[in-house]
């Protein structure tokens, strides 16, 4: 490998570059649930790329929509000009968002969606005559991308350590994972709803009239698939309402069927004021993200004089025509193949499969799941848990299964097209690898 391909110049993100380059893992083709690796092996994709390829790889409907679009209109600016597909897409996305969150802004990544949401929140409060509402409350273990706003409200210390004070008007509420009370809970843990009360204490500490918004992932994704305890999200909603604070659900992972619904907001029956989304919007094929805003938030901006630009924000590639075509095709596939319901119907098998790993080895500290997302959390009984997680990842990969190792846990999040036998295969591979620890 090293002889045929120069690996020196590329600086890889979120990767131990030196380690990777000693033993590179390259993917060269993809189809359905599988990748082909550079050493010509079939690799079952147990993480849908990176929680994004929800319709599976190289779906023919999506591939042909992209081909057609790129040959017809490859690019059009979205500043003061537009193309029809972006309006079609905004209407389609708004049909999936909770009622009243019908105004859609487009970006290119989850990180950009979060920055957009945060800037609009600040602008909204300023326009309403509350310019002092500038603080954001995030949550420990939260991940909201890597730009300055998202890094600031995130709750993964390693992501912030080198970068100074960032956006400093931020505080975090505690995460909800406590293995002493909820280890091996299937789906929603029954313990922990009371942890939402800490938000109110935090707000009172800051003076709630200075807080602009609370931003959380309804299910913590990259931080380890931490499922909200029963009643937790409803309480968070109520506390935000009590103090007129906006609630942002970052649904970059949980959107578009990962939990068997359009959005986690629908699954948990809690309506936020703003939803950020990306990944499943285009099934990862072309970068695109979006933010759904409550209609009156948008309206606040629209009360500017009719000839003025209402929002000084946007990206060169906002609403890109090729990404729009990809997203429209992906949304069509979700509908035609009834993939959100499919995810829901596979949830019990997925849950049982993951939880069958409980107790096979004392290095397994916890197993968590909801919808088609799950995590296996390791402890230090057999050496440092981070190393265990990486070892399991590598051995699974050697056996033809791609998962994602992050800190001391592994995540599993197959495409919504996953077959029952492929879920079982994920379980068998994990069992044989963990057994040998
Ligand atoms: C909840 C959440 N928000 C934001 C992001 C950032 O998205 P991106 O990597 O597309 O910038 C991610 C990425 O995993 C995410 O999981």
| 379 Cα: distance to centroid of ligand 1 (angstroms) | 26
Each residue's pLDDT, cut to its tens digit, for the chain (437 residues) gives: 545 899 999 999 999 999 999 999 999 999 999 999 999 999 999 999 999 999 999 999 999 999 999 999 999 999 999 999 999 999 999 999 999 999 999 999 999 999 999 999 999 999 999 999 999 999 999 999 999 999 999 999 999 999 999 999 999 999 999 999 999 999 999 999 999 999 999 999 999 999 999 999 999 999 999 999 999 999 999 999 999 999 999 999 999 999 999 999 999 999 999 999 999 999 999 999 999 999 999 999 999 899 999 999 999 999 999 999 999 999 999 999 999 999 999 999 999 999 999 999 899 999 999 999 999 999 998 889 999 999 999 999 999 999 999 999 999 999 999 999 999 999 999 999 999 99
Q: Which of 14, 54, 111 to probe ligand 1 with, by most ligand atoms within 8 A of CB? A: 111
Q: Which atom of ligand 1 is nearest to the CA of 50?
A: 14
Residue ranges, comma separated, of all CATH 3.90.1150.10 domains in the chain are 17-55+338-435
SS3 label, residue 130 = coil
Residue located nearest, by CA, to atom 3 of ligand 1 = 144
The token pair that represents 351 in the structure block: 């849950």
| 367 Cα: distance to centroid of ligand 1 (angstroms) | 22
Distance CA 416, CA 266 (A): 18
Distance CA 155, CA 392 (A): 25
Q: What is the pLDDT of residue 361?
A: 87
| 383 Cα: distance to centroid of ligand 1 (angstroms) | 30
| Cβ-based neighbours of 141, under 8 Å, separated by 6 or more | 155, 156, 175, 177, 220, 223, 224, 226
φ/ψ of residue 249, rounded to 5: -95, 120
Q: Which atom of ligand 1 is nearest to the CA of 254?
A: 1
Token look-up 């905004």 returns 90
Asked if residues 227 and 219 have their Cβ atoms less than 8 Å apart, the reply is: yes
| 173 Cα: distance to centroid of ligand 1 (angstroms) | 20
SS3 label, residue 409 = strand
Conformation bin of residue 145: beta by default, left when phi > 0, alpha when psi is -120 to 50 = left
Q: What is the pLDDT of residue 2?
A: 46
Distance CA 370, CA 125 (A): 35
Distance CA 345, CA 338 (A): 11
Q: Is residue 111 lining ligand 1, measured as CB closer than 6 Å?
A: yes
Residue ranges, comma separated, of all CATH 3.40.640.10 domains in the chain are 65-336
DSSP labels for 160-173? TTTSTT-S-SEEEE
Distance CA 268, CA 11 (A): 40
| 366 Cα: distance to centroid of ligand 1 (angstroms) | 24
Q: Is residue 288 lining ligand 1, measured as CB closer than 6 Å?
A: no
Q: What is the pLDDT of residue 1?
A: 56
Q: Which of 434, 424, 400, 408 is nearest to 45 (CA)?
A: 400
| 114 Cα: distance to centroid of ligand 1 (angstroms) | 8
CATH topology of domain 17-55+338-435: 3.90.1150
CATH number (3.40.640.10, 2.102.10.10, 3.30.70.3340, 3.30.450.40) of 65-336 reads: 3.40.640.10
Q: What is the pLDDT of residue 347?
A: 98
| 277 Cα: distance to centroid of ligand 1 (angstroms) | 8
Q: Is residue 250 lining ligand 1, measured as CB closer than 6 Å?
A: yes
Q: Is residue 222 lining ligand 1, measured as CB closer than 6 Å?
A: yes
Q: What is the pLDDT of residue 51?
A: 98
Q: Tell me the CA end-to-end span of the chain in Å, nearest whole number.
A: 29
φ/ψ of residue 247, rounded to 5: -115, 120
Q: Is residue 369 lining ligand 1, measured as CB closer than 6 Å?
A: no
């Amino acid at each position: 490998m090293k002889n045929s391909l120069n690996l020196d110049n590329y600086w890889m993100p979120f990767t131990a570059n030196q380690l990777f380059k000693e033993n590179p893992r390259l993917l060269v083709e993809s189809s359905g649930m599988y990748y082909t690796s550079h050493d010509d092996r079939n690799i079952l994709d147990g993480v849908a790329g990176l929680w994004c390829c929800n319709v599976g790889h190289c779906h023919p409907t999506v591939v042909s929509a992209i081909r057609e679009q790129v040959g017809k209109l490859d690019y059009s600016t979205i500043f003061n000009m537009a193309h029809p597909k972006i309006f079609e897409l905004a209407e389609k996305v708004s049909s999936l968002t909770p009622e009243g969150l019908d105004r859609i802004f487009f970006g290119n990544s989850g990180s950009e969606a979060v920055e957009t949401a945060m800037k609009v929140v600040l602008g909204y409060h300023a326009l309403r005559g509350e310019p002092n509402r500038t603080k954001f409350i995030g949550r420990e273990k939260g991940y909201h991308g890597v730009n300055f706003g998202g890094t600031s409200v995130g709750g993964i210390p390693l992501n912030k350590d080198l970068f100074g004070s960032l956006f400093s008007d931020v505080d975090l509420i505690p995460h909800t994972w406590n293995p002493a009370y909820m280890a091996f809970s299937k789906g929603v843990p029954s313990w922990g709803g009371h942890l939402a009360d800490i938000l109110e204490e935090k707000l009172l500490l800051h003076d709630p009239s200075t807080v602009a918004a609370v931003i959380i992932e309804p299910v913590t994704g990259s931080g380890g698939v931490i499922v909200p305890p029963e009643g937790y999200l409803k309480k968070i909603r109520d506390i935000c309402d009590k103090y007129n604070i906006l609630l942002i659900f970052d649904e970059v992972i949980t959107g578009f069927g990962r939990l068997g619904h359009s959005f986690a907001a629908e699954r948990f029956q809690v309506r936020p004021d703003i939803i950020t989304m990306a990944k499943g919007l285009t099934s990862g094929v072309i970068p695109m993200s979006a933010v759904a805003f409550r209609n009156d938030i948008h309206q606040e901006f629209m009360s500017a004089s009719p000839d003025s630009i209402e929002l000084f924000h946007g990206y060169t590639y906002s609403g890109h025509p090729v990404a729009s075509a990809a997203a429209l095709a992906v949304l069509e596939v979700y509908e035609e193949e009834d993939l959100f319901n499919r995810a829901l119907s596979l949830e019990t098998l997925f849950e049982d499969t993951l939880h069958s790993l409980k107790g096979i080895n004392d290095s397994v500290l916890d197993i968590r799941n909801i919808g088609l997302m799950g995590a296996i959390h390791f402890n230090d009984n057999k050496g440092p848990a981070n190393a265990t997680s990486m070892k399991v990842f590598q051995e699974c990969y050697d056996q033809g299964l791609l998962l994602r190792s992050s800190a001391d846990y592994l995540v599993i999040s197959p495409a919504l097209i996953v077959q029952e036998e492929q879920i079982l295969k994920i379980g068998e591979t994990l069992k044989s690898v963990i057994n040998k620890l």
